[in-house]
Amino acid sequence: MKLSGLAGIGLASGSIFKSYAGEINGSAYDLDEQVRKYGTSRPQRFNMSGYSAPKIDTVRVGIIGIGNRGTGAVSRISKIGNVELKALSDIRKARTDNALERLKDSGHNPTIYNGGEDEWKKLCEREDIDLVYVTSPWQYHTPMAVYAMEQGKHVCVEVPAATTLEEAWQLVETSERTRKHCMMLENCCYDFFELLTLNMARQGFFGEIIHCEGAYIHDLLEGNFSKTKYWDMWRLRQNMSRNGNLYPTHGLGPVCQILDINRGDKMEYLVSVSSNDFMMGEKAKELAKTDDFYKQFVGQHFRGNMSTTTIRTHKGKTIMVQHDVTSPRPYSRIHLVSGTKATARKYPLPGRIATSHEGWLSDEEVKALEEKYTPNIVKKIGEMAKKVGGHGGMDFLMDWRTIDCLRNGLPLDQDVYDAALLSSILPLSEWSINHRSNSVNVPDFTGGSWKTNAPVDILLEKGGNTGVRA
């Protein structure tokens, strides 16, 4: 794959800006070169949007990475009917031992792969696995997803699915060539208020959508510096040497579905700005005073505490997305939907809806709207999802829906183009910040098929016949 040209960077080749060269995933990383080579579109080999793979009556699953996210995935997936958990892999034996303990009396007895750094490949190579869940640290998401698809497996990969533009294109190229699904596990698309507003938007409640906002504002400062929360301090290391919106997908996923991004509209360009770091560098110094382990982080270049990105779409609509995982602020994904007839905003909780400038509707009025617009997936499986859990039930809704689509040969709600696009905001925002907030074009990963791709089906008109285990 040789993608070239300067059309995607918004500046002439004689740029006065200095190329950013840092390290990512242990390798030299030239951001300008990435945007030059991979910041443009290319012809589509095969359209994976709306693609229906052959039905799989019993979906055989393997999970790579049994850490914070993987442990929850093991428990949730074990409770979905017509699923067999065939294999688990983690470099740490204690993590797979813990997973096996959780699976006692579940009817699942997966094979374990651990110890070596490449043991996960053996899981992908098994002939009795249909779907590989990748819940490892970020730097392994694309390599593992690509390898799994090459072995003939559908893939669900945690967020972000890619950390560079090159990786984003690798996912697209591999999915199109192998005709295997590659779905990013953007669980926030399945939260209850987000599904409600998506259905409301589909039925015209908001009128024409003008502007949306999303965010990931979550104080992870202590956790990022913990020696035990993230294997090998991987999440803290991701916050060093890169300065952009490192985690854009939670805020973007739901509003992109509402705006029919990749399915009737597309992102055109973005601008991004970042504050300085006022928190992480000071935290490293404070910890290093009493623990020599933390001296390795003193003097490192941490990303800015608040990153704000604004995106304009082809149809002239706008999106604002923020990232802040260090400030002592209440948790928020914002989730603002602003249209010509109505507005909704989820945070601060509870979610609110307005139909005029005079103020938010009453709780009773919102409840009436919920009864009218709650989508079928929530009516069918919502209460069970809340019992199983996973961020209040949205994780289980996501897992159940994905398995149900595979069993019934239905297109997945999120395809490889969504995975690539939402993940690409990380390097693109990084480029804009590094170039004094200049605009940068967003690649069209669909190769133009966004003009005719059908919107996501949330009405459950087909499928819905997958059971759950007590």
- Pick one of 3.30.870.10, 3.40.50.150, 3.30.360.10, 3.40.47.10 as the CATH number of 188-375+416-451: 3.30.360.10
pLDDT at 321 over 70: yes
Find the mean pLDDT for residues 362-373.
97
Q: State the Cα torsion 11-321-257-317 to the nearest 10°.
A: -60
Q: Reply yes or no on whether the pLDDT at 379 is more than 70.
A: yes
> What is d(CA 18, CA 434) in angstroms, rounded to the nearest whole number?
9
| Cβ-Cβ contacts under 8 Å for 406 (sequence gap 6 or more) | 53, 55, 56, 59, 130, 131, 154, 181, 412
User: Above 80 in pLDDT, residue 252?
Assistant: yes
Hey, where are the domains in the chain?
Answer: 188-375+416-451
Residue 457 has a pLDDT of 80
How much is the pLDDT for 152?
Answer: 98
Q: What's the alpha-carbon Rg for the chain, to the nearest Å?
A: 22
Given a cut of 90, whether residue 127 has pLDDT beyond it is: yes
Average pLDDT over residues 320-334: 97
- pLDDT of 283: 97
The predicted-structure confidence for 404-428, as pLDDT tens digits, reads as follows: 999 999 999 999 999 999 999 999 9
**Among 228, 259, 184, which residue's Cα sits nearest to residue 426?**
184
Task: For residue 409, give the 3-state DSSP assignment.
Answer: coil
pLDDT band at 461 (very low <50, low <70, confident <90, very high): confident
Please give the pLDDT value at position 462: 85
pLDDT at 431: 97
Give the pLDDT confidence score for residue 11 in this predicted structure: 36
pLDDT at 18 over 70: no
pLDDT for the residue numbered 241 = 77
Handedness of CA 112, 118, 121, 122 (dihedral sign): negative
Q: Say if residue 378's pLDDT is above 90.
A: yes
Residue 266 DSSP class: -
